[in-house]
Amino acid sequence: MNTFRDFKRYAEQVADTARWAARMGWAPATSTNYSVRLPDEAAPAICAITMSGIEKERLYADSVLAVDGDGLPMNGNLLRPSAETLLHLMLYRRKNVGAVLHTHSMAAAMLSRSAEVTGHLSFSGWELLKGLDGIDRHDCDVRLPIFPNSQDMAQLAAHIEPRLLDTEACYGFLLAGHGLYVWGKTLTDAKRHLEVFEYLLQCERAVGHHG
C-alpha cells in the first residue's frame, strides 16, 4: 500500500476524517469519500483516498489507498478507490487544494434538489460564514454552485471543472440530490469548511428559504 515512507500517516488522517464525518451523520450507508494531496515525493501518486463500498465508521488506514493522475491504484494495490475519484483529481488540478471531502447529509441532498434550477445556493448574514478562508464579515454573499448529478464521473468532472468560480471563496459545490464537495489548502481547512457549509445548509433548510 505504501508509496513512500510517510504514506501511513496520510492514510490515518484520511481515515480519521471519514470516521469523524460518519459520527456527524454525514455518511449514510457506504456513501461519501475523502482524500488528501500527497507530497511531491509520492509521485506519480496524487492523493490518498478512501476505498469504495465501505461504511465510514469502520474505515481505517488500511482502507485508504494512493492513486495516480488517472485514478489508478499505485503499486498493484487491489483495493478499489472511491467511484468518485475523478472528481477529487479534478479538484487537485486547482491551486491551493490540499484536501477534498465529500458528504451526503440530508440537508445537502434536499436543498440541492430544491434549488437545482437556480444553479446555486446563496448564503448571507450568517456569522459562521467567517469560518471560510478569506471571509471576515457576515454581511457578504457566498454562492455554493449546484451541478446536475451523473453516474459518469469523467463526464461530470469535465462539466464541472470549467464552471467552477475562479475565486476560492466558496470552497465547495453541491451535486443535485447527491451531496456536498468541499476543499481547503490543508485537511484542517477542509474540515472547517465542511462544518461551516453543513451548518449553513441546516440553517437554510430550517428557515425554509429554498422550499
pLDDT in tens, 120-140: 999 999 999 999 988 888 988
Average pLDDT of the chain, as a whole number: 92
Task: Catalogue all structural domains in the chain, each as residue range(s) with its CATH number.
Answer: 1-83 (3.40.225.10), 84-211 (3.40.225.10)
* Ramachandran sector of residue 165 (left: φ over 0; alpha: ψ -120 to 50; beta: rest): beta
pLDDT of residue 170: 77
Which of 10-24, 64-78, 138-152 holds the top average pLDDT? 10-24
State the average pLDDT over residues 151-162: 95
The three cell numbers locating residue 154: 469523467
Give the helix ranges, DSSP H, for the chain.
Answer: 7-23, 85-92, 106-114, 153-160, 187-207
* pLDDT grade for 210, boundaries at 50, 70 and 90: low
Q: Which one is predicted more confidently, 164 or 18?
A: 18
The x, y and z cell numbers of residue 118, run together, are: 437556480
Is pLDDT above 80 for 165?
no
Q: What is the pLDDT of residue 46?
A: 97
pLDDT value for 1: 45
Q: What's the pLDDT score for residue 130?
A: 93
Question: What residue type is assigned to position 209 of the chain?
Answer: H
Angstrom distance (rounded) from CA 95 to CA 113: 29
